[in-house]
């Protein structure tokens, strides 16, 4: 596989990761039902990551209305994700990418070479990346931008149907 990062217009790499309940999440299975808002974040229970997760939570029904499922990924353990999700009442799945395999597949950059990046991808039902937003310091913008893109994507999909 190429060393380039995933770009808009690329087919998203398929992957499987464990959910906190021990079951397997497979990207292409999720895409059979919905567009997917896939967001990589640095760490559970940190200020920016908690703000971002809670904003996705607060807007979750709007994402669902726009035909999308939200999926968060970090290197934290499934136990950490379970506690984080429970304590903030997150209605979407958090996946454990312990070795950073999926982060590597997508070539999510690190900040200062140390901090795992915060990048959001919108992937349509055909598996095509429609939008990418990369900002470690603007966690709430990930949610707002994703909603804007999904609204226009939903309109486009209605026209094509």
Instruction: Tell me, yes or no, whether 49 lies in a domain.
Output: yes
Residue 119 lies in a domain: yes
Instruction: Give catalytic residues, as residue numbers.
Output: 49
CATH number, domain containing residue 148: 3.40.30.10
Rounded to the nearest integer, the mean pLDDT of the chain is 92
Asked if the model's pLDDT at residue 142 lies above 50, the reply is yes
- Tell me if 3 is assigned to some domain: no
d(Cα 30, Cα 44) in Å, to the nearest integer?
A: 23
Whole domain around residue 96: which residue ranges? 16-160
What are the residue ranges of helices labelled H in 72-138? Answer: 78-87, 101-106
Q: Look at the chain and count its residues.
A: 161
Q: Is 11 part of any domain? A: no
Q: Which tens digit of pLDDT belongs to each residue from 28-58?
A: 999 999 999 999 999 999 999 999 999 999 9
Does the residue 73 lie in any domain? yes
Q: Residue 139, SS3?
A: helix
Tally of structural domains, the chain = 1
User: Contact, 135 vs 9, CB < 8 A?
Assistant: no
CA distance 4 to 125: 23
Residue 3 pLDDT level (bands cut at 50, 70, 90): low
DSSP alpha helix (H) spans, the chain: 27-30, 47-58, 60-65, 78-87, 101-106, 139-160
Q: Is residue 78 part of a domain?
A: yes
In a domain, 50, yes or no: yes
CB 31 within 8 A of CB 90: no
Whether 12 has a pLDDT exceeding 90, the answer reads: yes
Better-predicted residue by pLDDT, 123 or 110: 123
CA distances from 49 to 11, 22, 151 (A): 27, 23, 24
pLDDT recorded at residue 87: 97
């Amino acid at each position: 596989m190429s060393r380039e990062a995933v770009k808009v217009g690329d087919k998203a790499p398929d992957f499987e990761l464990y959910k906190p309940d021990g079951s397997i999440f497979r990207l292409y299975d999720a895409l059979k039902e919905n567009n997917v808002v896939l967001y990589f974040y640095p760490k559970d229970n940190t200020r920016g990551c908690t703000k971002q997760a809670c904003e996705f939570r607060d807007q979750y029904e709007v994402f669902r209305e726009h035909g999308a499922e939200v999926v968060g990924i970090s290197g934290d353990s499934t136990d950490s994700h379970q506690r984080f999700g429970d304590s903030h009442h997150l209605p979407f799945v958090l996946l454990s990418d312990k070795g950073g395999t999926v982060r590597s597949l997508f070539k999510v950059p690190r900040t200062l070479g140390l901090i795992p990046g915060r990048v959001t991808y919108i992937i349509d039902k055909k598996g095509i990346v429609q939008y990418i937003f990369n900002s470690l310091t603007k966690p709430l913008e990930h949610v707002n931008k994703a909603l804007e893109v999904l609204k226009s994507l939903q309109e486009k999909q209605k026209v094509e149907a």
